[in-house]
Structure 1
Amino acid sequence: MSGGHESGVVAPGSATGTALVIERPGAFRLTEHSPRPPGPGEALVRVRAVGICGSDREVYQGTRPSGYVRYPLTPGHEWSGVVEAVGSGVATSLVGRKVVGEGFRNCQVCERCREGETTLCAAAYEETGFTQPGAMAPTLTLPARLLHVLPDHVDLDCAALLEPAACAAAAALRGEVRPGDRVAVVGTGTLGLLALQLLAASSPAELLAVGRWPEQRARAEACRATAYIDAGHRQDVGGFDVVVEAAGAPDSARTAASLLRRGGRLVLTGIPAPGATGLDPTDLVVRRIDVRTVFGAPPAAWAHAVRAFSAGLIDPSPLITHRLPLPDFAQALDLVGSGSPAVGKVLLFP
């Protein structure tokens, strides 16, 4: 965002409204928000929309591993907004642009970062909305290098889903789908549905969605699945070249592996709870299954997701089922944790 462009400090406008702070597990409050002016290399973003996901429930309930959260905390790692101010060293042309932003605050200097694998950074874990202030506030100040600029015409409500879309893009890139491949996605939550849209752009011969409820069929088909089956009724279904596991259920990795042909590629994205059923190493070796994993989204995956969204290849609108004001945070958490097939992505508006 810097270098070769005029840069300098742009004073932020006055911000009104409240921020949400989780003081400790099980306790949150709404507090008056004061925007933090951007320092060198930073940008201040006026937040439009924030998505809620399972990890936000973990933060509130206190079940997220201790090394991956820091209280008190303003959550919010799935967000969209408009740049309102920039610090020194950042191009002033960024002001007024619609943006989304990467969450991982990587060190940029370790070997993994230099390879572009920023989610594997060797430095201590830092991420927006978990250890650093998130977007459940009127404004968010963060390093400008993490921002991805969007075209002016895009819908910012839909853009708030680009964080999970970037994770889905990481899975799609790891799967290396070729035109004509038979592809399946296990899981029809936000990640799975976005993965379907991205994988459809690779022109597979078949794109199967595997879910838990018949009610999810229409949503999966709207995301370009060519077929849908219930996870419990998958007899005689298999022979797929690539299977993406996006459910994180205790048995979803095994389900995904069972759908593959010999020599197929398995991409695991979900993080199941302890005690999940493991993969059979004998089966993996005998069938020579190529197992690949995804943890977050590196910059290349973000760029892929943003390009696909900007080109209209991703349409998150069918996934959004609830829009609530920020004070309804508790209701939003209840919706996300309900397990109801009628609940898709829940958005909050600071």
Structure 2
Amino acid sequence: MNAGPAGIALVVDRPGTFRFVDHPSAPPGPGEARVRIHAVGVCGSDREVYHGTRPAGYVRYPLIPGHEWSGIVEAVGEGVPDSLVGGKCVGEGFRNCQVCDRCRNGETTLCTAAYEETGFTRPGAMATTLTLPARLLHVLPDDADLACAALLEPAACAAAAALRADVRPGDRVAVVGTGALGLLAVQFVAASSPAELLAVGRGSGLRARAEACRAAAYRDVEGLDISGNFDIVIEAAGAPGSARTAASLLRRGGRLVLAGIPAPDAPGLDPADLVVRQLDVRTVFGAPPAAWAHAVRAFGAGILDPRPLITHRLPLRDFARALDLVGSGSPEVGKVLLFP
């Protein structure tokens, strides 16, 4: 199989330093697929990679970042169906071993092998092409919007939270956090016909975006009236104190799903409160294949619509500006996409 045309890639050599390099498009090996990247999402984890604040063991330099992406399969290696070529796709990031007990049980984000993930320890999608195991691909409908599809990685994580939440029609639900993860979770919850769906964010500037994602109501976390009557609360902010805020919104016996990742020194939950109120606490880290499939199906059916979240579309060479936008904290900044 011939190599494709050369392109460019962004490489973070070490924290605080990046450069653009020629990116040869080598033939995919056995079991692999080469994808021409259409769009890459930028998130807080990419800022951690650049600033060197990602925990040890969860990043390996030098690195091509980019774990939220979409593209078109342009070549496949031996053992991969030729029918994939030309198809629109997204792909899972975790490089699980497939043979440990957890992988066999479908819990690939709990794989007992060493952590490996696209865009963190393996080359990511901030390049013209990305080569990865074809088993990680999820094929999209022919008419899929590839810019929106770049949000299917956070959408898969939101799907994992929604599946853990197990919302039933008539439940009263709140989602704490109005970033991409939180607002995508709002859309999944809305599809389950809750009796009440509250989005909790910081500042009034996010109200319109939350409502566009089908939140029935929006409240600012500052001065939030804690009613404690929600059946289910999904915490998707990962901010200091947000887990406690989320727990305080629950009725006795309610269900708390923690999807945001706070700093190590963030205030924790009160064990006595958890026991006395008999709260059911569930957690999410990444997205197993079932959550990816759930997100892709919802996207293909039009139930999941990432468009309200996208506020900036930039060329890959504007990586530095994209990082600044993501870190600005401005309510005017939602999801920032880069186009190689």
TM-score interval w.r.t. the shorter chain?
over 0.9
Question: Which secondary structure state, in structure 1, belongs to the residue aligned with residue 184 of structure 2?
Answer: helix
Q: Give aligned pairs, total.
A: 340
2:237 equivalent in structure 1 = 247
- Could you tell me which runs of 5 or more consecutive residues in structure 1 were left unpaired when the two chains were aligned: 1-9
Which of these residues, 10, 14, 28, is aligned with residue 5 of structure 2?
A: 14
Describe how 1:159-308 pairs up with structure 2 within 5 A.
159-308=149-298
TM-superposed deviation, 1:233: 2.0
Paired residues of 2:33 and 2:131 also in contact (CA < 8 A)? yes
1:57 paired with 2:52, answer: no
CA distance in structure 2 between the aligned counterparts of 1:186 and 1:107, rounded to whole angstroms = 33
2:304 equivalent in structure 1 = 314
Question: Which secondary structure state, in structure 1, belongs to the residue aligned with residue 25 of structure 2?
Answer: coil
CA distance in structure 2 between the aligned counterparts of 1:292 and 1:127, rounded to whole angstroms = 23
**Which amino acid in structure 1 is aligned with residue 60 of structure 2?**
R
Which of these residues, 42, 45, 66, is aligned with residue 35 of structure 2?
A: 45
**Which amino acid in structure 2 is aligned with residue 125 of structure 1?**
Y
Question: Which secondary structure state, in structure 2, belongs to the residue aligned with residue 34 of structure 1?
Answer: strand
TM-superposed deviation, 1:18: 1.3
Question: Which secondary structure state, in structure 2, belongs to the residue aligned with residue 297 of structure 1?
Answer: coil
Residue-by-residue CA offset, 1:55-108 (whole Å, 9 max, x unaligned): 000000001112000000000000000000000100000000000000000000
CA distance in structure 2 between the aligned counterparts of 1:59 and 1:21, rounded to whole angstroms = 11
CA distance in structure 2 between the aligned counterparts of 1:59 and 1:237, rounded to whole angstroms = 39
**Which amino acid in structure 2 is aligned with residue 47 of structure 1?**
I
2:334 equivalent in structure 1 = 344
TM-superposed deviation, 1:12: 4.5
2:129 equivalent in structure 1 = 139
CA distance in structure 1 between the aligned counterparts of 2:26 and 2:246, rounded to whole angstroms = 45
Paired residues of 2:108 and 2:289 also in contact (CA < 8 A)? yes
Residue-by-residue CA offset, 1:254-291 (whole Å, 9 max, x unaligned): 00000001111000011111211110101100100000
Paired residues of 1:171 and 1:195 also in contact (CA < 8 A)? yes
1:157 equivalent in structure 2 = 147
Residue-by-residue CA offset, 1:21-60 (whole Å, 9 max, x unaligned): 0000000000011012111100000000000000000000
CA distance in structure 2 between the aligned counterparts of 1:286 and 1:28, rounded to whole angstroms = 51
CA distance in structure 2 between the aligned counterparts of 1:160 and 1:262, rounded to whole angstroms = 38
CA distance in structure 2 between the aligned counterparts of 1:14 and 1:198, rounded to whole angstroms = 39
Question: Which secondary structure state, in structure 2, belongs to the residue aligned with residue 271 of structure 1?
Answer: coil
**Which amino acid in structure 2 is aligned with residue 14 of structure 1?**
P
CA distance in structure 2 between the aligned counterparts of 1:345 and 1:275, rounded to whole angstroms = 27
Give the superposed CA RMSD.
0.8
CA distance in structure 2 between the aligned counterparts of 1:50 and 1:278, rounded to whole angstroms = 33
Paired residues of 1:11 and 1:85 also in contact (CA < 8 A)? no
Question: Which secondary structure state, in structure 1, belongs to the residue aligned with residue 293 of structure 2?
Answer: helix
Paired residues of 1:324 and 1:349 also in contact (CA < 8 A)? yes
Residue-by-residue CA offset, 1:221-268 (whole Å, 9 max, x unaligned): 000000111112222433111100000001000000000011110000
CA distance in structure 1 between the aligned counterparts of 2:232 and 2:117, rounded to whole angstroms = 30
**Which amino acid in structure 2 is aligned with residue 243 of structure 1?**
V
1:129 paired with 2:129, answer: no
CA distance in structure 1 between the aligned counterparts of 2:339 and 2:225, rounded to whole angstroms = 44
CA distance in structure 2 between the aligned counterparts of 1:334 and 1:80, rounded to whole angstroms = 23
Question: Which secondary structure state, in structure 1, belongs to the residue aligned with residue 103 of structure 2?
Answer: helix
TM-score, scaled to structure 2: 0.99
**Which amino acid in structure 2 is aligned with residue 86 of structure 1?**
V
Question: Which secondary structure state, in structure 2, belongs to the residue aligned with residue 343 of structure 1?
Answer: coil
